[in-house]
């Protein structure tokens, strides 16, 4: 608060700069030459009130003139004054539009010349004896209250400067009915604004921690001077934000422009990193009030450990420090969620729950249209059992309400539907739900098409699936086959996406039947080698299914996640028949994890960087694939017509523990129900755990 203990100045006084903010978002920088005192450079607006009593008062006034730093602030200033004028409102420090708005552009600030000094200031400011003769007991009592509420404690958080002590505004009795005890609560607002910059992240503006620290230091040093806040990086207060234009979201989506399943795989990776045991992927129709109809919404729901407010902020930020606590974590770059979700659709809502919190976040191109700074509304609730409330340590109730209104307006969800979606987590459950709408399009249709399991419920005959509408096969050197279901069927892709699948994945309600490739081959051999002094293990074999489809190649995994599929090497590149049906499986984590925590995998996780180690890997794979082909198949061998080639072993995965088991050669695999793997022990005990 400000001390109006001095007489008003005139219009020819020194210019003072003031940045007006609301919910820690800049409105506009302003200037004034007739402020009667030295003011803080940061004026946070906390509340609006009817302007009539202040217009009719005889309080002295000063003027604020816009001094915008960019076009965004210029528009915000006009919008702000128009709001005050239309709604006949004023702010808590009584900022009114001029009487002749919109002809003039300045604002009017009425004030009252009163002071009261709380007892805790008497000793510290004993040398300041200039007391205005109008001090009253009511104002003194209020000042003592706000002193007891920790004003000095808040001031002590700011570095002490050799300037005059913090100054305060105390209004006359005629306004005490309007303010009451809010004078005490708002007394520290200008100082708190500095402290809350670290905490107030509910409406996310892509804040940079280093810049925030600089802003806190600069704001503290100039909080009570009449000089403008020094410009940092040629824009005053620009240090508060990384000014990300909303169009950057479209740019991010181009990361997966070549293959949309790569975008979906980013979200699957996040569920795996969250240690989820179950993942559901489905498309359903939800009513969207803004569109006035039901629209398709892609849903990705897992039962992982969920995200706290700090973790969801990290996920929504553009890049983050690479994780060190879990070396097997797939997420390395901090952009997978943004690139994946923005390719799948224009708008995404995230619901996440931990044992102690719930958070809702909206990443939306629709919400950010015509904005110059990307905004991501986030609401976080603290959770104690079934009891929920807005976490006031993270955002104010007003900010949370504003963000919730944005979610309700720009998504098919309101507070009741959100509560219903959180319901399956229960009191102690955790997990994350991602909902994407305004899906990417293919001509007049959506790029994805989907179908549910057949009505009879026999998903073994007709499993639900999500398909790429074009059914186009990805281009690979040397490939002539057009039968590659992995390229356009989500079911087929998720069957082999993980080297050691442990998570249950459902697509359109149908369980994905995982296929560990290395265990499904005929004439299997394992080749141990070294590339640049690093050990590698390659599994080679022939697949009857791929032979019939005229496919072959290497499946390259990194941290157990498929990066490249059907990569032809050696003679396979130049001869369509050479290596037909031969599949190689290799995990190259040891090779492709570079030094200093870096990785040689592309950030879309669909390929590797062109590097020396990758070139040597290709060469080594080609040599070993050719040797295997020459030894096992490149000879004249008369076989019986229509002879079937079975895998070397039959494997089955338990639906409960997700472990793989090898069956005896005399075991009838057809006797196992696809959905009742637990009955294997009952049917036949002749199995061995992996």
Cα separation of 680 and 654, whole Å? 9
CA dist list (Å): 208 to 240, 243, 312, 370, 504: 7, 10, 15, 23, 38
Output the pLDDT for position 89.
72
- Give the CATH number, domain containing residue 600: 3.30.230
CA dist list (Å): 461 to 456, 457, 464, 685: 10, 9, 10, 28
Cα separation of 425 and 388, whole Å? 14
* Torsion angle of the four alpha carbons 196, 202, 207, 212, in this order, in degrees rounded to the nearest 10: 0
Q: Is residue 643 part of a domain?
A: no
Tell whether 101 and 34 lie within a shared domain: yes
CA 196, 202, 205, 210 torsion: positive or negative? Answer: positive
Residues 6+ apart with CB under 8 A from 641: none
Q: Is residue 65 part of a domain?
A: yes
Output the pLDDT for position 665.
61
Output the pLDDT for position 216.
45
Token pair belonging to 360:
């809702």
Q: Is residue 458 part of a domain?
A: no
Cα separation of 584 and 246, whole Å? 43
Mean pLDDT for back-to-back runs of 10 residues, the chain (690 residues): 38 74 83 73 78 68 82 84 78 65 68 42 38 37 38 35 37 38 36 40 44 45 43 42 78 92 95 94 95 95 94 84 67 84 96 94 94 91 87 91 95 93 88 96 93 56 87 92 94 94 93 88 93 94 92 95 95 89 94 77 92 95 94 66 60 68 64 51 45
Tell whether 230 and 169 lie within a shared domain: yes
Residues 329 and 273 sit within 8 Å (Cβ to Cβ): yes
Nearest to residue 395, comparing CAs of 306, 317, 312, 315?
312
Output the pLDDT for position 329.
81
Judged on CB neighbours under 10 Å (0-12, 13-18, 19+), 119 is exposed
* DSSP symbol at 60: -
Q: Is residue 48 part of a domain?
A: yes
Following DSSP, what letter does each residue of 497-543 receive, concatenated?
SBSS--SEEEETTEE-----GGGS-EEEEEEEEEETTEEEEEEEEE-
Tell whether 276 and 396 lie within a shared domain: yes
Output the pLDDT for position 514.
87
Q: Is residue 463 part of a domain?
A: no
Q: Look at residues 439, 471, 491 and tell me which one is the last residue of a structural domain.
A: 439
SS3 121: helix
Following DSSP, what letter does each residue of 419-465 receive, concatenated?
HHHHGGGTTT--EEEEEEEEE-EETTEESEEEEPPPTT--TTTS--E
Q: Tell me how far the alpha carbon of residue 591 is from its chain's centroid.
A: 30
* DSSP symbol at 597: G
Cα separation of 676 and 673, whole Å? 5
- Residue located via tokens 């897992």: 302
* DSSP symbol at 671: G
Number of H helices, E strands in the chain: 20, 30
Tell whether 227 and 259 lie within a shared domain: no
Token pair belonging to 607:
């390929």
Token pair belonging to 572:
């396979």
Main-chain dihedrals φ then ψ at residue 223, nearest 5 degrees: -65, -30
- In DSSP terms, 278 is beta-bridged to 504
Q: Tell me the three-class secondary structure of 479-502, residue by residue.
A: CCCCCCHHHCEHHHHHHHCECCCC
Tell whether 420 and 387 lie within a shared domain: yes
Strand 504-507 vs strand 278-288: parallel, antiparallel, or unpaired? parallel
Residues 621 and 536 sit within 8 Å (Cβ to Cβ): no
Q: 660: domain range?
A: 651-689
Residues 6+ apart with CB under 8 A from 356: 308, 382, 383, 384
> Cis bond leading into 85, ω under 30°?
no
- Give the CATH number, domain containing residue 304: 3.30.565
Tell whether 191 and 309 lie within a shared domain: no
Cα separation of 402 and 418, whole Å? 16
Residues 6+ apart with CB under 8 A from 515: 495, 496
Tell whether 237 and 251 lie within a shared domain: no
Q: Is residue 566 part of a domain?
A: yes
SS3 580: coil
Strand 582-587 vs strand 561-567: parallel, antiparallel, or unpaired? unpaired
Token pair belonging to 523:
């004439």
- Residue located via tokens 């399943």: 261
Q: Tally the domains of the chain.
A: 4
Q: Look at residues 213, 241, 269 and tell me which one is the last residue of a structural domain.
A: 241
Q: Is residue 601 part of a domain?
A: yes
Nearest to residue 278, comparing CAs of 581, 506, 73?
506
SS3 638: coil
SS3 687: strand
Tell whether 32 and 178 lie within a shared domain: yes
Main-chain dihedrals φ then ψ at residue 64, nearest 5 degrees: -115, 130
Residue 555: CB atoms within 10 A of its CB come to: 21
* Torsion angle of the four alpha carbons 633, 636, 642, 645, in this order, in degrees rounded to the nearest 10: -30
Tell whether 236 and 267 lie within a shared domain: no
Token pair belonging to 587:
């995990």
In the chain, the largest separation of any two C-alpha atoms, in whole Å, equals 115
Cα separation of 326 and 320, whole Å? 15
Output the pLDDT for position 452.
73
Output the pLDDT for position 170.
37
CA 573, 574, 576, 579 torsion: positive or negative? Answer: negative
- E-assigned strands of 189-333? 203-204, 278-288, 293-302
Tell whether 610 and 660 lie within a shared domain: no
Following DSSP, what letter does each residue of 138-200 receive, concatenated?
HHHHHHHHHHHTTHHHHHTTSPP-SSPPP-B----GGGHHHHTTHHHHHTTHHHHHHHTTTT-
Output the pLDDT for position 235.
42
Cα separation of 300 and 421, whole Å? 12
Cα separation of 114 and 364, whole Å? 48
Q: Look at residues 380, 411, 439 and tell me which one is the last residue of a structural domain.
A: 439
Output the pLDDT for position 32.
81
Q: Is residue 475 part of a domain?
A: no
Cα separation of 286 and 273, whole Å? 29
Token pair belonging to 688:
């061995």
Tell whether 217 and 159 lie within a shared domain: yes
Tell whether 173 and 296 lie within a shared domain: no
pTM of the predicted structure, to 2 decimals: 0.65
Residues 376 and 201 sit within 8 Å (Cβ to Cβ): no
Output the pLDDT for position 149.
38
């Amino acid at each position: 608060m400000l001390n109006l203990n001095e007489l008003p100045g005139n219009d020819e006084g020194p210019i003072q700069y003031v940045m007006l903010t609301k919910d820690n978002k800049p409105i506009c920088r302003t200037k004034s030459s007739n402020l009667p005192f030295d003011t803080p450079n940061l004026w946070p607006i906390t509340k609006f009130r009817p302007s009539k009593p202040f217009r009719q008062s005889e309080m002295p006034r000063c003027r604020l003139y816009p001094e915008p730093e960019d076009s965004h602030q210029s528009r915000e200033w006009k919008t702000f004054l128009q709001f005050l004028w239309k709604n006949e409102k004023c702010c808590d420090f009584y900022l009114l539009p001029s009487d002749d708005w919109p002809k003039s552009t300045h604002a009017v600030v009425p004030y009252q010349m009163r002071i009261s000094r709380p007892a805790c200031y008497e000793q510290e400011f004993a040398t300041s004896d200039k007391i205005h003769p109008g001090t009253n007991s009511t104002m003194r009592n209020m000042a003592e209250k706000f002193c007891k509420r920790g004003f000095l404690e808040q001031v002590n958080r700011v570095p002490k400067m050799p300037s005059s002590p913090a100054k305060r505004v105390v209004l006359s009795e005629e306004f005490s009915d309007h303010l009451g005890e809010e004078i005490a609560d708002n007394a520290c607002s200008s100082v708190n604004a500095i402290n809350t910059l670290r905490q107030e992240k509910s409406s996310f503006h892509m804040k940079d921690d280093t810049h925030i620290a600089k802003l806190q230091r600069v704001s503290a040093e100039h909080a009570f001077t009449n000089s403008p806040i020094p410009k940092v990086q040629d824009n005053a207060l620009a240090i508060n934000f990384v000014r990300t234009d909303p169009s950057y979201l479209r740019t991010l989506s181009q990361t997966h422009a070549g293959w949309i399943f790569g975008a979906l795989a980013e979200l699957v990776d996040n569920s795996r990193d969250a240690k989820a045991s179950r993942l559901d992927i489905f498309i359903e129709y939800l009513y969207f009030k803004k569109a006035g109809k039901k629209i398709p919404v892609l849903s990705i729901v897992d039962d992982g450990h969920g995200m706290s407010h700090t973790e969801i902020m990290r996920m929504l930020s553009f890049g983050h420090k690479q994780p060190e606590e879990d070396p097997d974590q797939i997420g390395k770059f901090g952009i997978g969620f943004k690139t994946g979700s923005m390719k799948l659709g224009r708008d995404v809502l995230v619901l996440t729950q931990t044992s102690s919190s719930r958070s809702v976040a909206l990443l939306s191109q629709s919400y950010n249209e015509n904005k110059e700074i990307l905004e991501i509304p986030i609401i976080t609730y603290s959770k104690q059992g079934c009891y929920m409330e807005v976490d006031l340590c993270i955002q104010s109730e007003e900010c949370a309400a504003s963000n919730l209104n944005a979610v309700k307006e720009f998504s098919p969800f309101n507070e009741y539907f959100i509560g219903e979606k959180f319901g399956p987590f229960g009191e102690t459950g955790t997990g994350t739900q991602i909902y994407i709408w305004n899906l990417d399009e293919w001509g007049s249709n959506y790029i994805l098409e989907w179908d549910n399991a057949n009505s009879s419920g026999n998903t073994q005959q007709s499993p639900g699936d999500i398909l790429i509408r074009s059914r186009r096969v990805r281009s690979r050197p040397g490939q002539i086959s057009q039968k590659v279901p992995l390229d356009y069927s989500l079911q087929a892709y998720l069957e082999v996406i993980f080297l050691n699948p442990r998570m249950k994945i459902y697509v359109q309600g149908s369980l994905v039947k995982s296929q560990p490739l290395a265990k499904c081959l005929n004439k299997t051999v394992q080749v141990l080698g070294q590339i640049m002094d690093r050990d590698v293990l390659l599994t080679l074999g022939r697949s009857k299914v791929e032979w019939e489809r005229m496919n072959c190649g290497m499946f390259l995994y990194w941290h157990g996640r498929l990066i490249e599929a059907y990569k032809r090497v050696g003679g396979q590149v130049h001869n369509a028949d050479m290596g037909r049906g031969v599949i190689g499986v290799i995990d190259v984590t040891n090779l492709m994890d570079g030094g200093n925590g870096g990785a040689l995998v592309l950030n879309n996780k669909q390929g590797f960087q062109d590097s020396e180690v990758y070139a040597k890997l290709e060469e080594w794979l080609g040599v070993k694939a050719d040797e295997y082909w020459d030894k096992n198949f490149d000879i004249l061998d008369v076989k019986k017509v229509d002879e079937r080639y079975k895998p070397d072993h039959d494997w089955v995965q338990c639906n409960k523990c997700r472990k793989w088991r090898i069956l005896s050669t005399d075991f009838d695999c057809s006797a196992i129900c696809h959905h009742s793997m637990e009955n294997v022990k009952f049917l036949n005990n002749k199995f061995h755990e992996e």
